[in-house]
Structure 1
């Protein structure tokens, strides 16, 4: 549904737009329709009555210049701003449908805004740099984060040494980086040593712990192959008991797990090895180092082949893994950010990497905000703007008092998006100017 509003621009021109002459007279009107930002969940159009003028000096006619509109796009400035912001969060088709315009127009406005954002994008090196990768548009992309500040710094088109080196070289203050968290990819470690001389490299402990869990799972899969189909299916359903830490198991799960381990010695050996490795990171540093160095000997020979990748990583990355006891940083934020970006990638399937990168930076490039004082109004199933109706991130919402729509209604407190909040404040100022009078005397 489209709501259409009649509008007139009250300011008249004082000079001819063709020759600059001052002798003007009205010469009819012209109806022009402009797209406006959605209002109360409906697409809005302004049907403007535009005055035509003729100049007595040059004889030319021209239309009344309008403020607050983009003639080349046939939309208001606030509509363009609405599109630019929403196109960084939602699909172009969705925004086009909400505004009631063609998708190509949305793409053009979005491209213009993305170009502006790219020109302004100027990341700074943090004290703790997180380096990771995620798959976007079928290829691995480099993700760089400020681990302490919990924000995305940049997303690069490729995960290779040259791309990362070029990104790091642009900074003159590379000595300011004190810690670099990585997964176990040697080019990251080498570049950090070359270009970040004051930084300690820390391997993400959750990455290495995941290897222990995967080793245990390989043992389960190997043993399941010789079991009956119903046993295999039961093991698949029950593997959550193996993956959980003992203190997270229910009484029933603990009982069932004990029976399973009593009947399957190799699974029991793999489970003990996994738990011993996990427990390393709960120990004081000196004890943890001794346990780390003795771990390989504690793994039983029957499950050692499955644990070989973990044991090799422990040998090759010993100092970087143990560095976590002095610098308790992980790539947990980076990993969670990767999971969040998957939603943007899924929603924008088919879009170019540049478009997806702009969206991800726009949504996650700012520091994580403090809890909102109006959290009690937020809903678990999403938070649509009370004015335009589009879904919005909780941290981007503003609490306002909406005026009554019809006689007899009461004003109400509601959450609106940034664009509508700006529009709401503008309308309040205009209303105040109309009702106020000048002082006399």
Structure 2
């Protein structure tokens, strides 16, 4: 059997299976001996068998190359003192094996690349080696790559943290280009030292972090003049904390135990944004609103807080927040002031988002990768975790088939065209009862308002009743000229 393994100067002579391994007998086509000098006269003197691990072949079965190494005899070989003693054991020069191991170069490369996303034990089972051997192969390649890797300082640097080995580690990434940057032993001294090293780098312009207060101090001390942006999610999630507090307080005050349990278990329902909720979820929310009007006030206060990030400029965002804070309903003001009031020291970082709209979402996804590796590895050192982090690459979409857009039903809002039955009925005056929710009372964009075409009886703040009546009349007289979004339609036109 003369089959090639795509290794130069090597040919297959026989194949067999033994103990779950695929044994491939190979030999050199033209063996080259390691002679002591050019004048040696060599003759072939049999072969010696060596087992060499190779990448998995044949349906990912562990493979061993049983290499029949050619042995030579030489009458002119000398000992250490230069005395001609001769030798009958001069072996051929093997080039496809990693020095210091009995594994092929491509086997080392395969294990090093696969170990980035896969635990050492699983790769060891695939190749047919010990777990420590897989770890050694990964370290052999990763040390070379990480040492030679010179990270390019990004323009927008994202900073987050994750707990590894019971310590908080700093994770840094390029959020603009979605690329990893570095992982540091801690988020305090090591991070501040690293930021100090970046102080002379003028390429770095923006830093995106959460609201961990030491981050603000480090950036202020070490990176003066750079724009510091607070992550969106770490701001708006406090509105969910506030509505949870209101919801739990109401559930504890109920005498009906079953209703109280149902209200406590509806956390995800009240966290939903109105425009993301399905018809069934909206109907369920409306039922709770009718039973407990305080929940309605808390929910719409939360929705208005989220709409802070619909502003178009820093001045508009700051004015919007102050107006929202001054118009809090009395029944829920304590909870929202406690959770959503932004400290004065963090206000510049919050409104900086409207200059550079970046978040730490990419760093959070990388944290998930690190957490999965830490859980699956159960014993990785920080150096191994850092190497896996730096060598991580996005999974490539490798397929030869044409891409088809076969996806499950989307939860996005349905678009209503002028030909749709809902708008036809609206023009004829036979529409179902609708409720308008105006943002005119709390928005700094006069004349913009939102309508709901779901036909649900939603409560709204009583202080905006005149604007709602005017909006309803404007809608009845409106001639549809484009597409309108069911659930929320923005018409940038002044009230009559």
Q: CA–CA distance in 1 between the matches of 2:203 and 2:217?
A: 18
For 1:392, the equivalent position in structure 2 comes to none
For 2:211, the equivalent position in structure 1 comes to 184
Shift in Å at residue 200 of structure 1? Answer: 0.9
| Conserved 8 A contact 1:269-1:299 | no
**1:335 to 2:344 alignment:** no
* CA pair 229-55 structure 1, distance change in 2 beyond 3 A: farther
Q: CA–CA distance in 2 between the matches of 1:213 and 1:22?
A: 83
Shift in Å at residue 45 of structure 1? Answer: 0.8
Shift in Å at residue 168 of structure 1? Answer: 2.5
Shift in Å at residue 42 of structure 1? Answer: 0.8
| Conserved 8 A contact 1:34-1:75 | yes
| Conserved 8 A contact 1:15-1:24 | no
2:119 to 82, 91, 110: 91
1:201 to 222, 228, 239: 228
1:325 to 354, 357, 382: 354
Bigger proportion of residues as helix? 1
**1:277 to 2:305 alignment:** yes
2:193 to 152, 166, 174: 166
For 2:318, the equivalent position in structure 1 comes to 289
* CA pair 236-192 structure 1, distance change in 2 beyond 3 A: same
2:240 to 200, 213, 226: 213
Shift in Å at residue 76 of structure 1? Answer: 1.4
For 1:55, the equivalent position in structure 2 comes to 74
Post-superposition CA distance 1:167-223 (Å, at most 9, x none): 123346522222111111222222223333341111112210011112211221222
- Asked which structure has the greater CA Rg, the reply is 2
Shift in Å at residue 375 of structure 1? Answer: 6.3
Q: CA–CA distance in 1 between the matches of 2:311 and 2:222?
A: 33
Q: TM-score, normalised by structure 1?
A: 0.78
For 1:224, the equivalent position in structure 2 comes to 251
**1:114 to 2:142 alignment:** yes
| Conserved 8 A contact 1:15-1:22 | no
Q: CA–CA distance in 2 between the matches of 1:304 and 1:82?
A: 59
Secondary structure, aligned partner of 1:302: coil
Secondary structure, aligned partner of 1:32: strand
Shift in Å at residue 323 of structure 1? Answer: 1.3
* CA pair 256-8 structure 1, distance change in 2 beyond 3 A: same
| Conserved 8 A contact 1:175-1:197 | no
1:29 to 26, 47, 60: 47
| Conserved 8 A contact 2:34-2:90 | no
Q: CA–CA distance in 2 between the matches of 1:273 and 1:336?
A: 30
Which structure is richer in relative contact order (CA contacts within 8 A, separation 6 or more)?
A: 1
Q: CA–CA distance in 2 between the matches of 1:118 and 1:370?
A: 22
Matches within 5 A, 1:10-409: 10-13=29-32, 16-17=35-36, 21-39=39-57, 40-58=59-77, 59-60=86-87, 61-70=89-98, 72-160=100-188, 162-171=189-198, 173-227=200-254, 228-285=256-313, 286-364=315-393, 374=400, 376=402
* CA pair 145-222 structure 1, distance change in 2 beyond 3 A: same
* CA pair 268-174 structure 1, distance change in 2 beyond 3 A: same
| Conserved 8 A contact 1:83-1:106 | yes
Secondary structure, aligned partner of 2:132: helix
Q: CA–CA distance in 2 between the matches of 1:272 and 1:53?
A: 87
* CA pair 212-65 structure 1, distance change in 2 beyond 3 A: same
Q: CA RMSD in A?
A: 2.5
Post-superposition CA distance 1:247-298 (Å, at most 9, x none): 1122222222122123223322321221111111113334432221122222
Secondary structure, aligned partner of 1:225: helix
* CA pair 112-132 structure 1, distance change in 2 beyond 3 A: same
Q: CA–CA distance in 1 between the matches of 2:284 and 2:149?
A: 54
Structure 2's unaligned 5+ residue stretches are 1-19, 78-85, 407-496
* CA pair 316-271 structure 1, distance change in 2 beyond 3 A: farther
* CA pair 369-29 structure 1, distance change in 2 beyond 3 A: closer
Count of residues in Structure 1 that have an aligned counterpart in Structure 2: 374
Q: CA–CA distance in 1 between the matches of 2:401 and 2:373?
A: 24
Secondary structure, aligned partner of 1:281: helix
* CA pair 168-354 structure 1, distance change in 2 beyond 3 A: same
